[in-house]
Amino acid sequence: MKIRIIKSVMPLFLAIAYFTAIFAQEASPPPAGESAKDMEVESSEDTEVESMLNDLTIEEKVAQLFFITPEALTGVDGVTVAGSRTAECFAEYPVGGIVYFSQNLISREQISSMLTGMQDISMNRINLPVFLAVDEEGGPVTRVSGCGIEGVPEIGDMFSVGKTGDVQQAYQTGAEIGTYLSELHFNVDFAPVADVYTNEANPVIRRRAFGTDAGTVSQMVPMAVRGLMDAGVEATLKHFPGHGDTAVDSHAGYACSSKSLDELRSCELLPFKAGIEAGASFVMAGHISVPNVPGCDTPASLSHTMLTEILRNELGFQKIIITDALNMGAISNYYTSGQAAVQAILAGADMLLMPSDFQSAYAEVCAAVYDGRITEERLNESVRRILKEKMRLM
């Protein structure tokens, strides 16, 4: 009798064990480092991004790829306000970003008024914030520091910071720059420089870099990124894949590095990897040719090998790739504005900085989408990345 009772309840025990295992499996925690709440937030963000994307026309999506000066937008020299002319032109070309230079920046009140006005224009036109950027590296490349703007300290060069060996100083410098830029209503800094200054003949990087040693630069760059972003300003790593070994300034013409991919991996790419891991929102692709990597002289900013295969796939950067200024000699001497814009998008770039002829470049990208050279899905990939970063500003 006793044996029969055990046998009769055995299926019940097995059923309980089975369903307990199923429930435990369904209730298992998400992968390490990602909470259920994080996954829910990410899913909600993705849904919102798709909704925003679906609200945009093809022309509006293309406009979001461009990062231009207020002069290129309005056709007016020395823009210092965001007024009716700006609103009228932005209505036709709701670009993704505006970059400002010294001629646009006069006083604290003027800068703040201009930038908040520009942000209002963008929200009213397209219900999206606009990236408002400046080159504020410290040292020789500053548009705000050292220009007499009230309450803005003078920032020294990054080479001096790197020389201290103190990574906290890199963080503090980034935070200091980010604080005054954020107060003025900038939301993007085209900094820090992630180049390693290894060529004494280099005419353009020099003291803009944190140093001549990849290890030092790789320690300083992520701290500067965190300092900027903790202050509320998006950071940009530049100039991928590294401008510190070239002997020519790409502003003027063809700039080249003879390094192999393995040599880049052991030096130039290390600070970019560190900055990406620190959360940088942008990587600026330089107009540097590395013929021993893709096997041709195409500048990195227009190279599928450099932008997609190496920066995206190997280094794992999934945020916004922006070109360096497309009006620089390394591009404008060899390509039309339209050619460079289309090739950069096909190579993997998401945003196009300062083409020589904005309207021509915009028209050519639109034409490339309509005739299939750039698929709508490829266009959407870039716009999704832009929208995802803009959600951080809303």
What is the distance between the alpha carbons of residues 375 and 306, in angstroms, rounded to a whole number?
21
For this structure, is 297 an active site residue?
Answer: no
Active-site residue identified among 249, 251, 304, 357 = 251
Nearest to 137 by CA among 243, 269, 64: 243
What is the distance between the alpha carbons of residues 349 and 143, in angstroms, rounded to a whole number?
26
Tell the residue number behind the tokens 């950027």, with chain if given.
133
What is the distance between the alpha carbons of residues 318 and 279, in angstroms, rounded to a whole number?
10
What is the distance between the alpha carbons of residues 5 and 184, in angstroms, rounded to a whole number?
80
Return all residues near 384 (Cβ < 8 A) that are at least 6 apart.
49, 50, 53
SS3 11: helix
SS3 227: helix
SS3 234: strand
For this structure, is 185 an active site residue?
Answer: no
Active-site residue identified among 135, 157, 189, 324 = 324
Alpha helices in the chain (DSSP H): 2-26, 36-55, 58-64, 70-74, 84-92, 108-126, 158-164, 167-183, 214-230, 261-266, 269-277, 304, 329-332, 337-347, 358-370, 376-391
Give catalytic residue positions: 251, 324
